[in-house]
Amino acid sequence: MNKKDQYFAHETSVIDEGSSIGSETKIWHFSHIMSNAIIGTNCTIGQNVVVSPEVILGQNVKVQNNVSIYTGVICEDNVFLGPSMVFTNIMNPRSEINRKNEFKTTLVKQGASIGANATVLCGITIGEYALIGAGSVVTKDVPQYGLVVGNPSKQIGWVSKRGCRLNFNKKEEAFCPESGILYVKENNIVRVENQKIN
């Protein structure tokens, strides 16, 4: 349950009973946290954000303005949701049909970032540290460290944990230009050779 003295909620925000908000988290103007939503520590929930029932956000999740995070969405630690990006939770909505028991799970894995105004169809997994370009429409799973853009989004490359482009050589090795960390690609799966963070 909430310990109201351990997080900040702007006076215009609405926090429903039964939600759980971690310490050091900040919730800004006009945002609504609904019942049974779970928000980890040190998160930032921007302006005009809705976090629907049962949503789970890990630690240090950054949600920019005007994002609705619908039931069925799970964001792991260190996920970034860009301004006005859009989640969905039903593939074939109809006003006349109640599909509340058909919400699909969308999983955004650790460290992934979703660009401004992107749309993520439901039932999709966005891999660890993947980067979704602004305005993309994501229609299928994105591999870890994958960089995708466009509508429908297509993979145009790979990025490091720092979000820098990875240019693989003939040995399928690439160094992050910022951190110097070595990444390797095997069977089209990218991983950090040295598991040190950053």
Ligand X SMILES: CC(C)(COP(=O)(O)OP(=O)(O)OC[C@H]1O[C@@H](n2cnc3c(N)ncnc32)[C@H](O)[C@@H]1OP(=O)(O)O)[C@@H](O)C(=O)NCCC(=O)NCCS
The binding site for ligand X (CB under 6 A) comprises 82-83, 115-116, 131, 133-135, 149-150, 156, 165
Report in angstroms how near the CB of residue 36 gets to ligand X at its nearest.
29
Residues 154 and 142: their CA atoms lie apart, in Å, by 9
Nearer to ligand X, 149 or 184 (CB): 149
The secondary structure element, H or E, covering residue 12 is none
Buried b (16+ CB within 10 A) or exposed e, 40-51: bbbbbbbbbbbb
Report in angstroms how near the CB of residue 81 gets to ligand X at its nearest.
9
**What are the distances in angstroms from CA 158 to CA 62, 116, 136, 143, 181?**
22, 19, 16, 9, 14
Nearer to ligand X, 135 or 143 (CB): 135
Nearer to ligand X, 21 or 138 (CB): 138
Nearer to ligand X, 53 or 163 (CB): 163
Report in angstroms how near the CB of residue 117 gets to ligand X at its nearest.
7
Residues 150 and 53: their CA atoms lie apart, in Å, by 30
